[in-house]
Structure 1
Amino acid sequence: MTYDYKKGKERVEEILDNEITIPDSNIPTDEKFTFKNGYYSWVTAIFVDVRDSSKLFSKKGLENKKKTAKLIRAFTSEIIEILRETENFKEIGIRGDCVYAIYNTPYKSDILDCATKTICVNTYLKMLNKVLHGRGEEVFKAGIGMSTAQELVIKAGRSHTNINSKVWIGEAVTRASNLSSLGEKEFDDRLVFSKASYTNFIEGLKKGNADTSSQKVEGWFTEFKDEDGNICYHANVINKEFNHWIEFEM
């Protein structure tokens, strides 16, 4: 064993003794992060999680695996395209069968923009499933979770190496992931929002749908409590223009 555990203990002690500088500000670019600072800011996370992925991934035979590879690429590529269309995203990627994105959202307009992205993803999945159905393929089921909270963001890993990453300490990322596991599983709806997300985007969503009564816009969402007693909302809101194209022109 070549690991120098004595030096390792010294490094651990040094990390634990360090004072962390934590300004309350917007999350900066990656190069501003060090192993001795962190940033505390409002963030919003979105997770898009495939249902029954173990069944999809475990199909036997090379041809089935190639077909699955195409399905997963189709699923992930366009969702990433939708989620990345903003300067506010600070991290975006794929975890197994899940596409996720994390955004700096200091203003309500930023949170509304994130909600709009989830609605676009929901509508895209309708398009994708129509394409798959037309090809005789199995359609996707997925949950789309979104949560907003103040997070402490730090750089973690091993200094002086390229093995490091940002770590989000708070509930936005964890809750978005948990909420995504409920869509098209606990409910028929795909979209699931935390209360903090909902209360910060609902007024903007009403204004953006001025031709629809406020009560009807609120009626798109159903309130419920998750297993921890937190108030959340599920919905099946879609982009009207996008959906019209799917239904009548695609």
Structure 2
Amino acid sequence: MRLKKYDYIERKSKVEGILDEESVINKVNKFPKDEDFTYTNGYKAWAAAIFVDLRDSTSLFISKNDIDVAKVIRGFTSEIIEILRKEAGDNLKEIGIRGDCVYAIYSAPTCEELYYLAERAFYINTYMRMLNDLLSKRDLPRIKAGIGLDASVTLAVKAGRKSFGISNLVWIGASVAKASKLSDLGNKNSINPIVMSNDFYSGYTDVQGRLDNTITHPWIIGSSQLLGTYYHSDIVISDFDKWIDGGMKSLRQ
């Protein structure tokens, strides 16, 4: 439908009201519930983000029939969302799909949250093996994904159109944008699927060293001018991976 008239004279005063109103930014240990956000406040705390980005999706979308593509995309998104949301509690602040990418944002008041989010990345990496086996058995195209993780102090504000009930939290800081860019590195150009920022890796390994210091995870260091130092790996969940190798037979009677 054609936009017949945008009342820019009236809307100017609305914008001025937004820009001139008193706002409060609260520095907190952990992000509060969504209902605590208003159009005149914001909260600043540690946030961690994970992005799971489908590789070469353009080729998939144009080279296969619509039904096959729909099946692949649904198989890709449904269980990744399940892994990201399951037992996350109120630390999970946002989860969604952007194009061919599944993402989630979490409160991360301690390094333990980074460790547990890394575990979710390992489950997703293993799930991709399971999904590709299931796709192959059905003559559907196999797929790859990059998994990016970052954490930083982040400002969250509520933005949108109050009178129409259209609003979202906007995340202002490095964690979300950098996790997205790191996911774009994963699983191509000899970089492993899971890619962590230096800050995320530091917090994760601090906890990993205390909880399971007998296990040495194979991480490779890399760097880029844009993203700085990062670490990448192809870690999988051992029991899950063995079950896939064993033919994925049900263990339940």
TM-score, normalized by the shorter chain, greater than 0.5 = yes
Output aligned runs, 1:20-39, within 5 Å. 20-25=23-28, 26-39=30-43
Q: Secondary structure at the match of 2:241?
A: helix
Q: Which residue of 2 aligns with 1:53?
A: 57
Q: Which residue of 2 aligns with 1:124?
A: 127
State the one-letter code of the partner of 1:190.
P
Could you say if the C-alpha distance between residues 208 and 134 of structure 1 is closer, same or farther in structure 2, counting changes exceeding 3 Å?
farther
Q: Which residue of 2 aligns with 1:170?
A: 173
State TM-score, norm by structure 1. 0.92
Work out whether 1:78 is the aligned partner of 2:79. Answer: yes
Per-residue CA deviation, residues 168-193 of structure 1 (Å, 9 max, x unaligned), is 00010000000000111133410000
Distance across 1 between alignment mates of 2:227 and 2:157 = 29
Please state how far the C-alpha of 1:229 moved relative to its aligned partner. Answer: 5.3
Distance across 2 between alignment mates of 1:202 and 1:109 = 10
Distance across 1 between alignment mates of 2:204 and 2:172 = 23
Work out whether 1:147 is the aligned partner of 2:150. Answer: yes
Output aligned runs, 1:173-184, within 5 Å. 173-184=176-187
Per-residue CA deviation, residues 180-231 of structure 1 (Å, 9 max, x unaligned), is 001111334100001111000113223443443xxx33xx111111232511
State the one-letter code of the partner of 2:112.
S
When structure 1 is superposed on structure 2, of 98-107 and 126-135 the one drifting more is 126-135
Structure 1 residue ranges (4+ consecutive) displaced by more than 3 angstroms after TM superposition = 206-211
CA contact (8 A) 2:38 2:158 kept: yes
**Residue of structure 2 aligned with 1:224, choices 216, 222, 225:** 222
Distance across 2 between alignment mates of 1:76 and 1:68 = 12
Q: Which residue of 1 aligns with 2:6?
A: 3
State TM-score, norm by structure 2. 0.91
**Residue of structure 1 aligned with 2:161, choices 148, 158, 182:** 158
State the one-letter code of the partner of 1:81.
E
Unaligned runs of 5+ in 1: none
Q: CA RMSD in A?
A: 1.4
State the one-letter code of the partner of 1:232.
Y
Q: Secondary structure at the match of 1:8?
A: helix
When structure 1 is superposed on structure 2, of 8-17 and 151-160 the one drifting more is 8-17
Work out whether 1:245 is the aligned partner of 2:246. Answer: no
Per-residue CA deviation, residues 47-80 of structure 1 (Å, 9 max, x unaligned), is 00001111111236xxx10111011000000000
Could you say if the C-alpha distance between residues 209 and 245 of structure 1 is closer, same or farther in structure 2, counting changes exceeding 3 Å?
farther
Q: Secondary structure at the match of 2:187?
A: coil
